[in-house]
Amino acid sequence: MRVALETGTVGSMIFFGPPGTGKTTVARLVAERLGAVYQELSAVSSGVAEVRKVIESARERRAQTGRRTVLFIDEIHRFSKSQQDALLHAVEDGIIILIGASTENPYFEVIPALISRCELYQFVPLTREDIRTLLDRALESGATRHSGVQVGQEVRDLIAEAGLGDARRSLTILERALVLAAAKNRSVLDRAIVEEAAQRKLVLYDKEADAHYDVISAFIKSLRGSDPDAALYYLAVMLTGGEDPKFIARRMVIFASEDIGNADPRALEVAVAVARAVEFVGLPECRINLAQGVTYLSCAPKSNASYRAIEAALAEVAEHGAQAPPVFLRSTGYSGAASLGHGVGYRYPHDEGGYNSQRYLPEGLEDREFYRPTTSGYEARVKEFLEKVRALRRGTTSSAADQSTGQEPK
């Protein structure tokens, strides 16, 4: 965008991201930099008639003075298809530079024809440091009322965190808190007044400090301990403190394999579905998806057998190196492989009912067992099945047993 602004080649754009991340401000700056007329409509209260009126004015202005028009439409995703269609020709012909703002993913809410004519820019939640800088500027410039009230460093951090990535929200809380402090004849702003201004208890949760690691640790251990109430509480602490929900979802996906595994194979499906929902829905609604995942993972049977299995296999390779596979398992997909004996002696399991006694680990490791299923949940069936198959490979079952190994666990 910077290059386009400097060269005057800016086209229409769609800004999308959470509230209070600067979409309107950037739109105004674009118009100012281009020397264009800035006009603003809200998709909530405007219709096709208002859009066409702006477009006609822009057309006349361009013909008479050559000056361009930036039309900013807030909440553009709320426009109907016909309302969005009304913008197409004006955007295509360059009569207006459209800047649409949306808190929703435009690929789902804006018609493809309009998206194809616009550059898309994603705005992300502001960091606490970003908002803190804005608060400092507002206080130091005297832009807020009752600026005589002292605001300490810790309280500024609290207000910055309370914004949850929304600068507008933090600035509003600051303004309300200063008004309340003045009304109470307080010379210093404290936590109680800030919480009253925010109309809720505030959590000072530094995503880069100990609270981040301590709370996520408590969250995972509560899931592992099958305590959904505790896990939900720590989820609420993280969300209230502004933790990235994608970070929480990623940890849940890891947990599903590390601490549940094959005791409940659906746990990973649920966790991945939650992670996708977080991406698709976003806050605040995705808190419900996270809560569903938390309660499922908490109540699922637990097994860390898959985690221990890969750790044991990695330790074996680290200590003794990578051993060559048996010759009969090696690739036969190139000329000369047969002359090396590759594939010779390989027994195709499907020709023998799905299972046979052939061993697959390298020589010297034939009896190693990295994966040891527990008796928890579905993994109990896996354990029973695997014991039969391993016995078959060790040659400790009878011929009849060889034929009755059974199907894979269901």
CA distance 109 to 79: 9
**Residue 60: pLDDT band by 50, 70, 90 thresholds?**
very high
Q: Say yes or no to pLDDT of 201 above 70.
A: no
pLDDT of 152 higher than 60: yes
Pick the CATH number of 210-299 from 3.40.1160.10, 1.10.3080.10, 3.30.300.130, 1.20.272.10: 1.20.272.10
- Please provide residue 73's backbone torsions phi and psi, each rounded to the nearest 5 degrees: -115, 110
Q: Which of 126-130, 230-234, 322-326 has the lowest mean pLDDT?
A: 126-130
CA 246 to chain CA centroid, nearest Å: 3
Q: What is the pTM of this model?
A: 0.54
> How confident is the model at residue 403, as a pLDDT?
45
Cβ atoms of 181 and 174 closer than 8 Å: no
Residue 266 has pLDDT above 90, yes or no: yes
Residues contacting 303, CB < 8 A, separation 6+: 259, 260, 261, 262, 263, 373, 374, 376, 377, 379
Report helix, strand or coil for 157: helix
CA distance 238 to 222: 14
Question: Cα dist. 258→74, 195, 222, 252, 261 in Å?
Answer: 44, 39, 14, 10, 6
* Candidate CATH numbers 1.10.10.60, 3.90.1300.10, 3.40.50.261, 1.10.8.60; the one for domain 128-198: 1.10.8.60
Pull the structure tokens for residue 209: 């400090």
Confidence band for 400, pLDDT divided at 50, 70 and 90: very low
For residue 165, name the pLDDT band (cuts at 50, 70, 90).
Answer: confident
What's the chain's length in residues?
Answer: 410
CA distance 38 to 30: 9
**pLDDT score at 401:** 40
Average pLDDT, the chain: 86
| Average confidence (pLDDT) over 82-108 | 89
Task: Check residue 399 and give its pLDDT.
Answer: 42
First CA to last CA across the chain, in angstroms? 55
pLDDT at residue 406 is higher than 60: no
pLDDT band with cut points at 50, 70 and 90 for residue 203: low
- Of 186-190, 195-199, 279-283, 309-313, the one with minimum mean pLDDT is 195-199
Angle at 207 between CA 27 and CA 289, to 5 degrees: 80
- Is 31 a residue whose pLDDT tops 70? yes
The percent of residues in the chain predicted with pLDDT above 90, rounded, is 40
User: How far is it, in rounded angstroms, from Cα 80 to Cα 160?
Assistant: 36
- Spell out a b/e string for 273-308, using b for 16 or more CB atoms within 10 Å of the CB, else e: bbbebbeebbbeebbebbbebbbbbbebbbbbbbeb
Q: What pLDDT is stored for residue 161 in this prediction?
A: 80
Query: What's the confidence (pLDDT) of residue 269?
Result: 97
Percentage of the residues of the chain whose pLDDT score is greater than 70: 92
Q: Is 241 or 353 the better-scoring residue by pLDDT?
A: 353
**CB-CB contact of 274 with 252 (8 Å):** yes
The residue to which tokens 């809720």 are assigned: 200
**Single-letter code of the amino acid located at 155:** V
Q: Where in the chain are the domains?
A: 2-122, 128-198, 210-299, 324-403
Which residues, other chains included, contact 31 with Cβ-Cβ below 8 Å and sequence gap of 6+?
A: 37, 38, 70, 72
Rounded to an integer, the average pLDDT of 236-243 is 83
Helix axes 210-224, 286-299, angle to 10 degrees: 50
If you average pLDDT over residues 162-167, what whole number do you get? 80
- pLDDT reported for residue 255: 97
Query: What is 2-122's CATH number?
Result: 3.40.50.300
3-class DSSP state of 86: coil
Alpha helices by DSSP H, listed for 199-321, are 210-224, 228-240, 245-255, 266-281, 286-299, 305-320
| Average pLDDT of the segment spanning 156-161 | 86
Phi–psi pair at 188, nearest 5 degrees: -130, 135
Average pLDDT (206-220) is 74
What average pLDDT does this structure show over 33-49?
A: 89
Q: Which residue has the higher pLDDT, 291 or 344?
A: 291
Q: Can you tell me the mean pLDDT for 248-263?
A: 96
Which of 269, 298, 302 is closest to 377 using CA atoms? Answer: 302
Which architecture characterizes domain 324-403 according to CATH? Orthogonal Bundle (1.10)
Whether 235 has a pLDDT exceeding 60, the answer reads: yes
pLDDT band at 127 (very low <50, low <70, confident <90, very high): confident
β-strand partners of 72? 40, 99
Confidence of residue 9 (pLDDT cuts 50, 70, 90): confident
pLDDT over 80 (residue 65): yes
Residue with token string 């010297």: 364
- Average pLDDT, stretch 79-89? 89
